[in-house]
Amino acid sequence: MKLLVTGAKGFSGKNLCAYIEANGLGELLPYDRDTDPSLLDTYADACDFVFHLAGVNRPADEAGYEENVTFTKRLLESLMRCRKSVPVLVSSSIQARYDNAYGRSKKRAEELVFDYAAATGAPVYIYRLPGVFGKWCAPNYNSVVATFCHNAARGLPLRVDDPDKVIELAYIDDVTAAFAGALDGVVKRRGSYCVVPMTHHVSGVDLAKIIESFGSRPGLFVPDVGDILVRQLYSTYLSYLPEDDLAQPLAVHRDERGFFADCVKSCSAGQVSVNVARPGVTRGGHWHQTKAETFFVVSGEGVIRIKKPGEDRVYEYAVSGEEPQAVTIPPGYIHEVTNTGAKDLLMLIWASEVFDPQNPDTFAAKMDE
């Protein structure tokens, strides 16, 4: 299947083309501002489906919005000249509901597409999109999320002009998945228009607070990614970090027994640490009242021992990087790990809460007590 994508180098176009290529959905015929105009007829004649994503939203003056109409007309005329009745998907905007220059231009472009459908019998899918956000969107242009993420990643202020205004947002990966579904005629409709199945509503001030929080926590804290909007915003924020800021040193605690370092912390999901024990070394020798842990041996050999305080029975678990397993340490069990191999024992440890030096919930105890 040959897929004509207009606006292929724009934010939505770039993401859609990447999605199509990654999933092997068809052969791309990308068309953008710098494409030889004569190729439009060639692509129109060859294509089996059209993704019309090209558009003008920040012209030098209001007259520039007319390009949304004229290019749509030119595209549809090319299809008609080729006697094509291929499906056309259009990326429109919720602004088409409103009486402003941009909205009027998008509305007129929609009407041209509906006329094309009536004349040819071709399926058309018109998406009136809200604000779309995600990776590869230019900041300081047309997306408040892109601008906020860019600024927060660089320690710049986030300006909120209308704190109480509620913004409707759609995540780019949800948009591209919805667009791709149209290739098989699988779309969600609301009246004459198609909609992305999931959108979010958030006030400007709350949006700023969420994004600012990503850069305000010390160390390697991650947010509550169980919240889908937070997860999508966090992924977007990370894509705006300068490459020089992607590597962060860990606070490593070393002694003759090995070393220990916290890797990732989350107020909602605890923390992950790395622990290295030298050959013959035993680490641990404590218990927790509430904190639970899970040990994962990545490399080396050892034995994990646990027992309840005041009881004699000891439970042992042989562990090895050659046969990975997860060993859960419930609260209320003394536990220790001994390296029984000839090389370092490397473990990842998940703890159910972030270590708090003011309330460590860690009590020294020996297995033979």
Cα separation, 297 vs 305, in Å, equals 14
Do 32 and 23 form a contact (C-beta atoms < 8 A)? no
Classify 66 as helix, strand or coil: helix
Rounded to an integer, what is the distance from CA 351 to the centroid of its chain?
25
Angle at 232 between CA 228 and CA 234, to 5 degrees: 115
Closest by CA to 170, choosing from 8, 11, 49, is 11
Cα separation, 280 vs 104, in Å, equals 75
Do 163 and 73 form a contact (C-beta atoms < 8 A)? no
CA quadruple 110, 22, 222, 153: dihedral positive or negative? negative
Cα separation, 258 vs 281, in Å, equals 8
User: Tokens 């602004």 sit at which residue?
Assistant: 95
Cα separation, 299 vs 292, in Å, equals 22
102 catalytic, yes or no?
A: yes
Cα separation, 327 vs 333, in Å, equals 13
Rounded to an integer, what is the distance from CA 36 to the centroid of its chain?
34
Task: Choose the catalytic residue: 43, 102, 116, 333.
Answer: 102
Cα separation, 154 vs 247, in Å, equals 15
Do 308 and 357 form a contact (C-beta atoms < 8 A)? no
Angle at 161 between CA 155 and CA 164, to 5 degrees: 110
As annotated, the active-site residues are: 102
